Structure 1
Amino acid sequence: MTLDYSILRLAAWALLSLFAIGVSLTFAVELGAASLLPTLKANESQRRALTAQWAAVTAGNLAWLAALIALVFFGWPSVYAAVFSSFQTLLPLVLIPLALRPFALYVRAGLPANWLEKWDRGLSLGALLPTFLLGVMIGNLIKGIPFHLQSDMRIALLGNLGGLFNPFSMLVGAVAAAAATSLGALQLQLHGDSEISERAKALALPLGLAFLSLFALTGLWITHLEGYHVTTDIAPLGPSNPLSKFVRRGDGLWLDNYEHEPSLIAIPSLVFIAGIAMLICSRRDKAYWASLAASVAMAMLVLTAGVSLFPFLAPSNMSLNSSLTLWDASASETGLRALLMFGGILFPLMAIASRWR
């Protein structure tokens, strides 16, 4: 069966969502747990065991991130250009700590004793900072990023680093950090020794409550936050031309998809249901089920962002009609077919490899 251009675009968006979930889960397990290292009060033997576990998976986690970036680059080149250009001052603060983690975890075993505590604090900060900043970037995508498409499709940047740290984006950053540390604590409860497991269990409750509270606060804020809506007819089969549409902005427009398709409300609802389940299971020492519920909550958190933004991938808050959607900023039909073929093979292989680890 031959898929038309609209189905290819939609399938590519679904594949992007799957890879985004994969990145969030793999990084949350490692970075969330590593962020808690100073608070665990672990002895050196326990710390060595934990860092050895993280060292075994950190390179694979970077592979997930590289695959996600490659998917955006090949599937929506203009989105890649707009997003990476808009966040060019922020991205080094995310990518450099992540790229250095395999080296930092590897050399820890050979460090003198008087270096270890400071090194572990650096590992913790190097885990928490990228997690928070990735959330800040997502928050800015929801608010809209400051770029303008010229008539020749060149991108003009209109923002600065300070503008990226606005109250809403920092709230989303806090949601990301709380979600990751909650999942990290539950993984430590599941895989740590008896002492680490008990300490992680004690941390899981406040972290989980913070995550659910911050997520609820974000939802309330979005009801009054300016969202975006395409006012002209969408051409799913048409050529990619972001400037061929008109976009309006108004309070609460990010809720449009839930009004048009009420069943979508199940996605953010599952964040709360799975979040409450993870807390109950953790308190009852059912760490496996708690970790599984936390993973579901994390996946639904990512889908909530994607479904709320749909069909936008990179809305512009400076030039509304320059906003990029999955319908008007995609690669060619041939390019999307190749991307789906390659990505459709790569995703299950990476998922199996991550589960096997």
Structure 2
Amino acid sequence: MILHDLISYDVLRIIWWLLLGIVLVGFAVMDGFDLGTGMLLPFVGKTDLERRIVINTVGPVWEGNQVWLILAGGAIFAAWPQLYAVSFSGFYIAMFLVLVGIILRPVGFKYRSKRESKTWRSTWDWLLFVGGFVPSLIFGVAMGNVLQGVPFEIKPDMQVFYRGSFFGLLNPFAILCGVLSIVMLLTHGASWLAVKTDDPIFSRVRKIGMITGVLTTILYGLCGLLLNLATTGYHITGGVVANGPSNPLMKQVATNASGWLDNYHQTPILWLVPIIGLVAPLLAVACLAMRKPVLAIIANGLGIAGIIASVGVAMFPFILPSTIDPVMSLTVWDSSSSHFTLFVMLIVAVIFVPTVLAYTSWVYKILWGKVSVKTIEGNKQSY
């Protein structure tokens, strides 16, 4: 028996679909509070010293949190090459804007305090705001477009062509999803700052987090309602072989007017996933109201996981629908890498993902505690 036959092709595809979801959730939860903190910076720090405190709550950890984004990009490239081809070519301008936002963060951290000028520092504070706002918005917009379907086609020789435009991505539903992403990560950033700071910053972020937490639940519910009232769902009617070759053109697909609710109707226990997405942000609000910030960030993290996971659960087995021809849509069963590639990647993941988690846990343990004026003044390496 060949070694990679120990795990069948269809099982490996499911495993990598799950791993991709876990990595995306990991990025949103771990790097999400960095993005949220950047967006909050100009508003919760009233003095230069307060803004330095805000920056230094994420300064030591943001680079490590970026690993989740690298893992997500690598997983899509290696495990789902056709998904990578469509998303990284069709969403090219959007990806470029995300990259600009991500680049602004380290530059802002490093250069902000190089000069005493108030104008200089204020400018970098707003650039750090942009570095948090733009990726948060774009990621939400991208998710909204994935749910609606993307205008791409696949030729018989498996070449992928994106037929849309950047401004076509900025449709009302996608923008609503982008706003949801922003308030969701603002709540996460506020919860993080509540954990890491004392008054007066604590009181400010506590109030903001309570407002954005409620907005997260409202906007998530509105997105779900609009999705299933005004969006077409997809389902496979035949032709798919779960352990067959990766050829999206071999299946038959039909659309339905009930949106993406089929999986929930067939397996009612799956309703727990969006329920978590609805309820957990409100639990975070309650925890902030009770001055329990650690519980608040855990609750909001669960909410983020529920919101992202509900998309994957609703769409399964589709990972990127095509609006040009539903048959060309990419699914778990027909757009993955080879059996051998997925197996080798799984071995690598089993070795290195626990290593990343262990290192990350150690870093947070070492750096645990609040950032204060004393912390800033006593550390020459602080931002």
Q: Same fold (TM over 0.5)?
A: yes
- Secondary structure (helix, strand or coil) at the match of 1:269 reads helix
Deviation at 1:353, TM superposition (A): 2.9
1:341: Cα distance to partner? Answer: 1.3
Name the amino acid aligned to 2:349. Answer: G
The one-letter amino acid paired with 2:97 is L
Q: In structure 1, the residue corresponding to 2:233 is in which secondary structure?
A: strand
CA distance in 1, matches of 2:226, 2:359: 38
1:276 aligns with 2:282: yes
Distance 1:85 1:41 in 2: 39
- Residues 274 and 293 in structure 1, CA contact (< 8 A), matched pair in contact too: yes
The C-alpha deviation readout for 1:36-63, integer Å capped at 9, x for no partner, is 1111143211211221332222222222
Q: Tell whether the 8 Å contact from 1:179 to 1:211 is kept in structure 2 after alignment.
A: yes
Partner of 1:349: 355
Q: Deviations over 1:160-203 (max 9, x none)?
A: 11110001111111111111001111111111122111111111
Match in the other structure for 1:218? 223
Residue 137 (structure 1) aligned to one of 119, 130, 142: 142
Matched residue, 1:329: 335
Q: What's the RMSD between the two structures over aligned residues?
A: 1.4
Write out per-residue CA displacement over residues 284-323 of structure 1, whole angstroms, 9 at most, x where no aligned residue.
1011111110111111111111111111111111121111
Calculate the TM-score normalised by the size of structure 2: 0.90
- Give the Cα separation in 2 of the matches to 1:99 and 1:243: 39
Question: Based on CA coordinates, which of the two structures has the bigger radius of gyration?
Answer: 2
Q: 1:81 to 1:279 in 2, by over 3 A?
A: same
How far residue 233 of structure 1 moved from its aligned partner, in angstroms, is 4.2
Listed as ranges, the matches of 1:105-120 within 5 Å are: 105-114=109-118, 115-120=120-125
Task: Identify which range, 298-307 or 224-233, moves more after superposition.
Answer: 224-233
Q: Distance in 1 between matches of 2:151 and 2:297?
A: 38
1:276 counterpart SS class: helix
Which deviations, in whole Å up to 9, do the C-alpha atoms of 1:189-245 show, x marking residues without a partner? 111122111111111111111111000001101212111111114311111111001
Deviation at 1:135, TM superposition (A): 0.5
TM-score when normalising by structure 1 = 0.97
SS in 2 for 1:56: coil
Is contact 1:79–1:329 with CA below 8 Å preserved after alignment? yes
Q: CA deviation at 1:22?
A: 0.8
Matches of 2:282 and 2:57, distance apart in 1: 28
Using the aligned pairs only, state the percent identity: 31
The separation in 1 between residues aligned to 2:92 and 2:300, in whole angstroms, is 31
- Where do 5+ consecutive residues of structure 1 fail to align? none
Which residue of 2 is the match for residue 316 of structure 1?
322
Task: Return the match for 2:202 from 193, 197, 203.
Answer: 197
Task: Note if contact 1:19-1:347 (Cα within 8 Å) is conserved in structure 2.
Answer: no
1:182 maps to which residue?
A: 187
Select the residue among 83, 92, 95 that pairs with 1:79: 83
Partner of 2:310: 304
1:267 CA displacement: 0.4
Residues 64-123 of structure 1 deviation map (CA, whole Å, 9 limit, x = unaligned): 111110001110111100111110121101112113311221121213322111210111
| Partner residue in 2 for 1:26 | 30
Counterpart in the other structure of 1:207: 212
> Which runs of structure 1 show a deviation greater than 6 angstroms over 4 or more consecutive aligned residues?
none
State the AA in 2 paired with 1:51: I
Asked if the contact 1:15–1:343 (Cα under 8 Å) also holds between the matched residues in 2, the reply is: no
* 8 A Cα contact 2:112 2:121, kept in partner: yes
2:268 corresponding residue in structure 1: 262
Aligned mate of 2:132, from 108, 127, 132: 127
Distance 2:259 2:242 in 1: 21
- 8 Å CA contact retained: 1:15, 1:340: no
Equivalent pair of 2:108/2:127 in contact (CA under 8 Å): no
Using the TM superposition, name which of 232-241 and 182-191 deviates more.
Answer: 232-241
2:376 is aligned to none
Question: Which residue is 1:164 aligned to?
Answer: 169
- Contact 1:136 1:172 (8 Å CA) reproduced: yes
Give yes or no for contact 2:235–2:255 (8 Å, CA) kept in 1.
yes
Choose 101-110 or 46-55, whichever is displaced more.
46-55
Partner residue, 2:241: 235
Look up the equivalent residue of 1:136 and give its one-letter code.
Answer: V
> Match for 1:249: what amino acid?
T
Could you tell which deviates more after superposition, 47-56 or 189-198?
47-56
Aligned residue number for residue 246 of structure 1: 252
Counterpart in 1 of 2:71?
A: 67
| Cα distance in 1 between the residues matched to 2:148 and 2:315 | 10
